[in-house]
Amino acid sequence: MKKIKIISGIIWAFMALIIILILFPGLNSFSVALSKLPFMKINPNFAGGDAAFSYVQERCTLVVRKPVFDGLLSERKHGFVQLDWRGELPDVISDTIDFDRDGGSDFVVNLKRNDAVTVINPLSDLVTGLNVSVPTSYGWTVRVGLKRE
């Protein structure tokens, strides 16, 4: 029994050596394999949710994301919808958004880029106000707070 313990301990120690030796040459392929696992995606609370639809405008495109209410076990009462303007943005933006595509406008976004002033005019009870309005590498992003129906 003692010998078996010693031999298995030494074998495990050599396996640890192999683990470290294959780690660095295989790092890229191991990372790619890990990144393909189903849970390896950024939570929508950070990533902003999947794109729902887009409006192609004169020199830019407005991408409206799916509303995010993600909680640990179920949806939360409060969430947000993210709007991304991509491309060459005008100095002043004013867009009316129907984020749930029910035919009724939900809010109006007025954005003055130079002054970094963003105003949300809610047209629906589900809209709670402005959460985030920031310049991005691709244009501008606004997150508008929502209540769950």
- Binding region for other proteins (CB under 8 A): 2, 5-10, 12-17, 19-21, 23-24, 27, 30-32, 34-35, 38-48, 70-73, 82, 132, 134-137, 141, 143
Tokens 């993600």 — which residue? 70
State residue 66 phi and psi, 5-degree precision. Answer: -70, 145
Residue (61 or 124) nearer to other proteins, CB: 61
Q: At its nearest, how many Å lie between other proteins and the CB of residue 145?
A: 14
- For 57-99, strand residue ranges (E) read 60-65, 78-87, 92-97
Residue (51 or 101) nearer to other proteins, CB: 51
Q: At its nearest, how many Å lie between other proteins and the CB of residue 103?
A: 29
Cβ atoms of residues 136 and 84 within 8 Å:
yes
Residue (50 or 102) nearer to other proteins, CB: 50
CA distance 111 to 118: 4
Q: At its nearest, how many Å lie between other proteins and the CB of residue 125?
A: 25
For the record, the structure tokens of 29 come out as 């392929």
